[in-house]
Structure 1
Amino acid sequence: MLAGALLPDLPLLLYYLWARLGAGLSEAQVWSKGYFEDGPWQDLIDACHAFPLLLPAWLAARWAQAEAASALLASMLLHAGADFLLHHDDAHRQLFPLSDWRFRSPVSYWDPRYHGAWASVAEAALVLIGGWWLAGRAGGGPRGKEGARARRLAVLGLVAAYAAYWAFALLMWAG
């Protein structure tokens, strides 16, 4: 479920919008200081990546046979697992609220000091291959051709949003 893949980072997007538009922080202030400060934003961001919260919720959804909730939470867990392996300086508190411990992966999806150049290329390749695969699988379903077209457009929209994110990142943060 695509919503679950995106949901863990929604608080981060909301924090960014609040910091830039509401609090008037500069780009440098957001990412060098603000993002790393303890407080309600960081708690919310970490809660959406926390195995002690997501795993029991997923197990409860499975037990209750709530398929949509189970798929959403499984996707959130997959996102949290990927972030566990791909964050170094910006690692989440994966055991929140039980612990403030952070696993600082030797690989970062963005930071070149931790293989970020290669990891970001691999991530982009996975997004493109995954998007192609999902778009190809969108042909079936209960709504026939119109539903398939809508699903393909949704996948292409997500791939385009991913490309727009990287274009924004390069414009804002490339040195």
Structure 2
Amino acid sequence: MVAWARLVSDVPARVIFGEYYFSDAWMAVFAIDNSFLLWGALLGLGVWRRWPVVTAFAGAGLLHLALDFPLHGSDARPMFWPLTDWKFDSPYSYWDRNNHAGIFGPLEAGVSICLTAWMLWRFRSIALRVGMVLLLLAELGSSGIWRFVF
């Protein structure tokens, strides 16, 4: 949604993150794609049906949420939808400098780099290695953009 609004609709970043992000429409999408309950149900389905790709995808989604949960303050999302719209307003943030982003942002980048290095060592396929490096660059770019937006 951010990419579409910024790159296709040419909406300024300050409008995206100052207005759109907190709108009812965007929060409705965030409630669905950030729901521990929905990702947990998908994980359960993957395990039950013995679908390794679904299991890995849902596990990755839950890992993302577990790391996201303590690092969103005023921009928190309703992560227990559809049971509740409650949001955990964390005192820590990966992007907000007022909430320790100077610590958590570089820590996140460092962990990403270390895990990518481990996977590059572990997997020998050139295609996988190129894919991992591209994903790392996307992660570092998306994490690093907050320094410029805010």
Using the size of structure 2 for normalisation, the TM-score is 0.90
Aligned to 1:157: 134
Superposition map of 1:53-68 within 5 A: 53-68=38-53
CA distance in structure 2 between the partners assigned to 1:155 and 1:70 by the alignment? 20
Does 2:1 align with 1:25?
no
Gaps of 5+ in 1: 1-14, 140-147
CA distance in structure 2 between the partners assigned to 1:125 and 1:111 by the alignment? 18
The number of equivalent residue pairs is 150
CA distance in structure 2 between the partners assigned to 1:22 and 1:42 by the alignment? 21
Aligned to 1:10: none
Cα deviations by residue, 1:96-131 (Å, 9 ceiling, x for unpaired):
122110011221011111111100010011011011
Gaps of 5+ in 2: none
CA deviation after TM superposition for structure 1 residue 167, in Å: 5.0
Does 2:109 align with 1:124?
yes
CA distance in structure 1 between the partners assigned to 2:10 and 2:121 by the alignment? 43
CA deviation after TM superposition for structure 1 residue 59, in Å: 0.8
CA deviation after TM superposition for structure 1 residue 161, in Å: 2.0
CA distance in structure 1 between the partners assigned to 2:90 and 2:145 by the alignment? 25
Aligned to 1:36: 22
Superposition map of 1:1-175 within 5 A: 15-21=1-7, 23-39=9-25, 41-139=26-124, 148-166=125-143, 168-170=145-147, 172-173=148-149
Does the C-alpha gap of structure 1 residues 64 and 152 become closer, same or farther in structure 2, counting only changes over 3 Å? same
**Structure 2 contact 105–143 (Cα < 8 Å) conserved:** no
CA deviation after TM superposition for structure 1 residue 43, in Å: 1.5
Aligned with 1:42: secondary structure?
A: helix
Q: Sequence identity, in percent?
A: 27
CA distance in structure 2 between the partners assigned to 1:24 and 1:154 by the alignment? 28
